[in-house]
Structure formats: structure tokens, C-alpha cells
Amino acid sequence: MVEAARQEFSERGYGATSIRDIAQRAGVSLSALYYYYKGKQDLLVAILEDGLDAYFSACDAALAAAGDDPAEQLEALVAATVRFRTEHPVKSSIVLTEGRSLEPEHLARYRKNEARGTQQFREVVERGVAQGIFLTPYPDDARRAVIAMCNAIAEWYKAEGPVSLDELVERYVSLALIVVEYRPRAVRRAARGT
């Protein structure tokens, strides 16, 4: 039932989706749907929360497996994000576009929760800059660029494409490090040594 709603919301948008479409797609009666969910908005809330939770879980797992190094952590976040956008394109597209369909009472909480995603990237980038391994002079814009390019994947990625997922991850990790102008210490030390 949530899955049917997710599909419909993702395809038509929340506003253009009728709750009957959802019920039909889910193969349940209209009343059955209302037995489990309070209404259309309730479905959206459930879907958005689940979307964020799933994404954050993936990020947390990736970060847990990474060390203290900001570069390693940025790689972890980018890899997690790219994987999530490709493996869950529907969840992704809803989370990325339907926040605005939330009614005021749910919106504030959601936006706050959503901000955690940005915050994780911000901290990593800033630490990298502080440690002198991310040379970008515009940490905020670099962060936004990295997030934007990862998120955009959800719009065009098709599993059947010519590029494997692992390859795609590698490319975006590489792009992200380029954007923040990553220079590993070893190289710098070597360079300094010259």
C-alpha cells in the first residue's frame, strides 16, 4: 500500500495523485486504505519519513565503516548517496521533490530532519578544509555541488545502463574529491619536500 502510493506520488506528484489511483494500484479497496492510513497526507508523511530514515541509515553505516579521515568520510557519504539514489530511485525522487506537499504541521519537522543530510556533508567538508586536505575556497558551494550531482542521479539513472553501479560510484567519488580539491597529505608532504 505504501509502495503503491510511492509509485504514484513519484510518477504523477502528490497533488496530481488521487487516492483511488493508489488503492487501485495496491489492489485494495478505498476503505481498506483508510483503515490503515489516516489519509493521503498521512501516506506522504510515512513515505517521506521512511525515505529519509533509509537514506540516513545508509549514510550512518557508510560513515561507521570509514575512519576519521575527511576524505574517507566524504567518499563514504558520496558512495552511500549514489548507491541510494540508484537502488531506490522512487524513494529518492519523492524525498527530493515532495517535501513541499507536506502540510504546515508536518513540514517544519520534516525540513529539520532533512537538514541532517546536508549537515553530515557540511561537517565532513569543513573538517577536510580545516585539516588542509580539501583546498576548495568555497566549502559551501562545493558541498552543494557534490550533493546536487549525487541527487541528480535519481532523475536519469537506469539500471540497464552501460555503466556498472560500482563504476558509477567510483566516478562520483572521484568527482566529489575533485570538487573539494582534495590533496592527500602524503602528496603535499612530498611536494613540500621538493
Partner DNA sequence: CATGAATGAGTGTTCATTCAT
Partner DNA sequence: GATGAATGAACACTCATTCAT
Stretch touching DNA by CB under 7 A, among 25-33, 119-127, 165-173, 182-190: 25-33
Check residue 181 and give left, alpha or beta (phi > 0: left; psi -120 to 50: alpha). Answer: left
Q: Where are the beta strands (DSSP E) in the chain?
A: none
Which of DNA, a copy of itself, none has residue 113 at its interface (CB below 5 to 8 Å by kind)?
none
Looking at 11, 38, 131, 184, which residue binds DNA (CB under 7 A)?
38
Instruction: Give yes or no for a contact between 43 and 22, defined as CB atoms under 8 angstroms apart.
Output: yes
Please tell me what DSSP assigns to residue 27.
Answer: T
Between CA 171 and CA 182, with CA 176 as vertex, the angle to 5 degrees is 115
CB burial readout 27-59, b (16+ within 10 A) else e: eeeeeebeeebeebeebbbbbbeebbebbbebb
- In this chain, which of 2, 13, 25, 34 binds DNA, going by CB under 7 A? 34
Exactly one of 2, 13, 19, 123 binds DNA (CB under 7 A); that residue is 19
Q: Which residues pair with 134 in a beta bridge?
A: 182
List Cα–Cα distances, 140 to 5, 57, 84, 137, 181, in angstroms: 35, 24, 23, 9, 13
Q: Per-residue string for binding with DNA, 41-80, x by CB under 7 A? A: x---------------------------------------
Kindly state whether residue 46 participates in binding a copy of itself, applying the rule CB under 8 A.
no
111 binds, among a copy of itself, DNA, none (CB under 5 to 8 A by kind): none
Minimum distance from residue 177 beta carbon to a copy of itself (Å): 11
**Residues at the interface with DNA (CB under 7 A):** 17-21, 28-32, 34-36, 38-41
**Residues at the interface with a copy of itself (CB under 8 A):** 11-17, 97, 100-101, 138, 141-142, 144-145, 147-149, 151-153, 156, 168, 171-172, 174-175, 178-179, 181
